[in-house]
Amino acid sequence: MEVSYSANKHTPEIVFFDLETTVPQKSGERFWVLEFGAMVVCPHKLVELESYTTLIRPRDLSVVPLKPRRTDGIRRAAVKKAPPFEEVAEKIFSILNGRVWAGHNIQRFDCVRIKEAFEDIGMPAPVPVGIIDSLGVLTEKFGRRAGNMKMATLASYFGLGEQKHRSLDDVRMNLEVLKNCATVLFLESSLPNTLQSRWYGNSNIMTRSRTNYGKSPGKEETSRKSPPTASLGYQRAVPYTRGSLQKVTEGVKGLLCKAQGHQPLNHILRHSHSLLR
């Protein structure tokens, strides 16, 4: 029997995007966008429909180092003749507005920088219809099997090469990492008792965010493609199989019930166990 599938023509497209920025050297300094890169994909087939990338010259060129700390960083000479943000703002707006935004740690970083850039020129910022942050999704679903949640580490884990720290290259790498993680999870769900591995979380990772300032100015991690250490939502790790976890839960429940004997406590424990399964 032949089966046909018709996608909803009104389903919004997904735009993966990434920014390269300056790295503030002390508290009070801001991030300046140096490069924008985006790739529009079909949500049903994940095929690339459109891509765009551009270097961006900040108002003050002195904020761009002559020699970046990273060998693959963007140099001052590279953006000296690039267009200012106001000249590419309409193009960036047309790519982002009304689509699902996707990227690695975009909620804490890239989305904030985009909004700042549009505010600087007095133009309304683009609005997404949804956001897929691969940092949060992969941390919860895939875990820290690669060691940490930096894009470079995840790419190396799957043999996808080195991260180039250029916007469009990183966007394409982001999608490939997601495809690989999804494939592993799909296979594990098919044979959970055979293929599912155990992993443990590692929270000793920093992210490039303003929330880090005031602690150690100028010494922050130069890449924001990693989870924040202060966020409990990014530290979930359950190093038990479902069976052993149930035994632990039931044992603790019995002890607490003997000590407390309150029905509300029993209800809470049952609810907690259902969340941890």
CA 79, CA 236: separation in Å to the nearest integer? 40
The token pair that represents 95 in the structure block: 């790519």
What is the maximum alpha-carbon separation in the chain? 73
Q: Within 10 Å of residue 80's Cβ, how many Cβ atoms?
A: 11
pLDDT of residue 28: 82
Q: Where are the alpha helices (DSSP H) in the chain?
A: 76-79, 85-96, 111-120, 134-141, 151-157, 167-190, 192-195, 242-260, 263-276
CA 153, CA 144: separation in Å to the nearest integer? 10
Judge whether 273 counts as a catalytic residue: no
At position 237, the amino acid (one-letter code) is A
pLDDT of residue 213: 37
pLDDT of residue 198: 56
* Cβ-proximal residues to 268 (8 Å cutoff; 6+ apart), any chain: none
Class of domain 14-234: alpha beta
pLDDT 10s per residue in the chain (277 long)?
Answer: 444 444 556 789 999 999 999 988 888 889 999 999 999 999 999 999 999 999 999 999 988 888 767 656 788 999 999 999 999 999 999 999 999 999 999 999 999 999 999 999 999 999 999 999 999 999 999 999 998 999 999 999 999 999 988 999 999 999 999 999 999 999 999 988 887 765 544 444 444 443 343 343 333 344 454 455 433 333 333 333 444 445 544 554 454 445 444 444 444 334 444 433 4
- Segments making up each domain of the chain, as ranges: 14-234, 242-276
Q: Which of 10, 165, 262, 271 is catalytic?
A: 165
